[in-house]
Every structure is written in C-alpha cells, then in structure tokens.
A and B are shown apart, each in its own frame.
Chain A
Amino acid sequence: MTDVLEFPQCRIVPMRLLGADTTRRLLDRLATIHGVRRILLNGQNLPSTVPYGPSRGLATVHPQRKKIRVLGTEVDLRVQVGSLVLEVEDRSVIDEVRSLCGDFFTDFSCSVQEGRFMKTRPSLSDYARYGPLPDPAMIGLSDPKQKEDPVFLTEPTGCRGDL
C-alpha cells in the first residue's frame, strides 16, 4: 500500500443547501486561503435528465446545475452543495476557514467541523482505477468510477487548490 502523508481535514456544513452563485463566491474565497490543498464538494445530485417516472429521459433544466468559474477555471457543478470538505496544510488553516465562514454566512448559520471526512489511503477501487502507484492528489476526491478528473485550479497567490 502506498504511504500517504496525512493532512488535517475540516468540513463546512451550512444550514441551507447552497446555490451555484453562492458556491462560486465561497470557493473563490476558500481557494485563495494559503494552505488549502484540496476541496471536495458534497451535495444532492442534480440529474441532467429525469431519472424515472412517466417523463423519464426529459431534460431537467435546473438553474443550480451549471458551469461556474472559480479563480478563472471552469467547474462543472452537478450538485446542489450541502457541505465542503477541505484538506489543509496544518491546523491553523482551519481557524482561518472558520473565520472566513463566520464572515461569509450572514443569512444562515454554518458549522466548521474538524475530523476525517475524505479518504486518505487508496482503496481496492482506487487500485483498480489508478493502479499500484496512484497520484495521492486523486485519492478521496472523487468516486473512482467517475470518468472525469478533478479540477485543478491555477495558483493565484502561491497556493494550490484542487476541486
């Protein structure tokens, strides 16, 4: 098994599900925090077509399912974001994230939890997908069965954030 350096993680859980525009504004600010390594967006899936029922196959034109631009990079948002998991360089960054969230969420509350929320070691599925030597940046970010890769943001101020 590949040895992976483990970094602190935190999870941002707002009291409301975030719209695409709010998600974009929040990501824009989170990604510029120095020390944020990776961000994972969790939320309710917004299907592109009606999955079942009499209108199965019809396009669902959902206003929250769209492409957003974070730090100039296009991100295809396909969920209504309910929580964000962050992997950071050290614990001091979590305090910074907490402070940012306090300022950002004014209409409703939000909690920032510390813990282990993202997979840090490759699983059997990762082995099947990436082989014996996976890129540590990929582990835990997305479903190994997903065909798309994570989005890599360019560094605006010397930090690196992956979505």
Chain B
Amino acid sequence: MARKPQFGPGTSIVAENRRRQMDPSRRLPIVRNVTEEDIVLLLGHRAPGSAYPSAHPPLAEQQEPDCPMRKLVSPTEGAKAGDRVRYIQFADSMFNAPCQPYQRTYVEMYRFRGIDPGTLSGRQIVECRERDLEKYSKELIETDLFDPARSGLRGATVHGHSLRLSEDGMMFDALQRCILDRDGIVKYVKDQVGVPLDRPVSVGKPMDEDWLKRKSTIFHSLVGTPLRNDPEYIEYLQRIHSLRTKYGFMPMEG
C-alpha cells in the first residue's frame, strides 16, 4: 500500500499551516510581486544584469566521471552552468511570523532541489547555486511564507527574532535594512548584509494581525495559538521526548 506522508501532527491552525507549507503538492499562494532584478539587489551577490560568475566550467563542457549517482540525479540549472554557491538568510519574528527557521528548512527540503539549509534558533540560511537561489528566493519572498514586517532578509546581524516589535510593528533590526514608509509599504534600503542599495526595493505592505494569526507556524501563548490548545501535538512531542530520553538512558528499552 502506498504511504501518504503526514508531514506533521496536530489539529491546530499552526499544525495545519506547517503541513500546508511542507506539502509540495500544494501550491503556495503568491501574495506580492517582487521583480527578479529586485531579488538580485536584495541578495547582493551580483549586480543586476551581470553574468553569473562561475565556480567551474559548465557540466556539458567537462568530463564527468562514470558515476551511477550522477546518472540517477539530474543537475539543477545552476549546477549545470557551474554557478557559484550563494546564500539567502531569513530571521523570523516569534510574534506570528508566517514561517520559522525549522519550518523553513522542512519546507525547502520538500520543495527545492540542490540546497544546503542551515537552521538556527533565530535565523535560517539556505545555500545553493546562484541562479537556483534567485529562483527559490523569489518564491520564498513572494509567497505567504514571508511577511514584510515579521520576516527579515538578514545575511548578517540578524538579532531581533525574539524581541518585542518596534512601535510600528516591524521586527527590530540594528541595521535597519528595511523601513515602513509613509505609504505603508515596506521598502528595503539595504541589501541582506547591510550595504545601502541604489534605490529602495519594495516588498509590499505588512499583513494584518488576523492574517498573521491565521498563517502563523509558531505556537505563541500570548499573541497566537498556544501549544496547550493542541493536545495531539503535545502527545507527539511527549512521545519523542520520552523515546529519546529512554534511548539515551537504556537503548534496549527505547
């Protein structure tokens, strides 16, 4: 019998959002438009319109060793062209940001190919070939995985995910890479590492509290859905905790 992946436990809206984001068969809704040129500016790895610098010759031009894995796995566009490996990094506020570092890694591993994610408590970095990165970044920013106020594109100096929000509802950023402009639109004035941009890059209006609460993938007892409201999730967590504790103590009982 074919198995159907469950993606995760839980009956709450947070659990459902986590499953929805992870499931590659479900399309993530696009909620804003950011041009490819703007993505390149935000990433800051190359000038818009310039050629992709390469790390090695295109695969078609070099002799590949006779390897069964290479026959099984087709290379991504970036790998085929021999692009450099570059990164994008996000920090997500604990105040109902639509995605969270661990969740991001799960989502990316299910949806993207040829990536190397790095997950930390407050930030998540993903590395891949440059032209693949631009394609994935566009998806990560344009869809409902991103909120201009609660998610931040931060290559360095990421501090802010666990802090109270600023007065205007933006996540704290010591480098102030993006600003909430007078027209209510969030504009990036610096790239992800804090280098000032030639022109501001608009990433849309911050979503309202209701939307964030409905789309959030983090449990939060004060401003969102408390974990205690999802007994199935608690049962799952307790089971994992119990098993790994027993296994560490007496593997034969685990």
Contacts and interface: CB of A to CB of B under 8 A. Distances in A.
Interface of A: 14-19, 22, 44-47, 50-55, 58, 60-64, 80, 82, 107-108
A52 B156 contact: yes
Contacts of A19: 166-168
Given A52-B156, A58-B195, A16 B167 contact: yes
Interface in B141-178: 155-157, 159-160, 163-168, 172, 174-176
Max chain B Cβ within 10 angstroms of own Cβ: one of A47, A50, A52, A108: A50
B194 A45 contact: no
A47 B1 CA distance: 59
A138 to B, nearest CB: 28
Nearest to A61: B176
Contacts of A17: 163-167, 172
Contact of A63 (B159, B176, B196): B176
Q: How large is the interface on B (under 10, 10 to 19, 20 to 34, 35 or more residues)?
A: 20 to 34
A22 B156 contact: no
B42 interface: no
B176 A22 contact: no
B81 interface: no
B165 A16 contact: yes
For the residues of B in contact with A, the DSSP-based class is loop
Nearest to B160: A44
For the residues of A in contact with B, the DSSP-based class is loop
Nearest to B191: A55
A44 B172 contact: yes
B212 to A, nearest CB: 15
A45 B156 contact: no
A49 to B, nearest CB: 10
A22 B168 CA distance: 12
Interface of B: 155-157, 159-160, 163-168, 172, 174-176, 179, 193-196
A44 B194 contact: no
Contact of A53 (B167, B172, B193): B193
A62 B167 contact: no
B8 to A, nearest CB: 31
B184 to A, nearest CB: 16
A55 B193 contact: yes
Nearest to B168: A19
A44 B159 contact: yes
A61 B190 CA distance: 10
Contacts of B176: 60-64
B81 to A, nearest CB: 24
19 contacts: A15-B164, A16-B166, A16-B167, A17-B163, A17-B164, A17-B172, A19-B167, A44-B163, A50-B175, A50-B193, A51-B157, A53-B194, A54-B195, A55-B195, A58-B196, A61-B176, A61-B196, A62-B175, A82-B164
Contacts of A14: 164
Across chains A and B, which 9 residue pairs bring their CB atoms closest together, nearest first? Answer: A53-B156, A55-B194, A62-B176, A50-B194, A55-B195, A54-B193, A16-B167, A55-B193, A17-B166
Given A51-B157, A54-B155, A55-B195, A45 B174 contact: yes
Nearest to B175: A60
Contacts of B166: 16-17, 19, 80
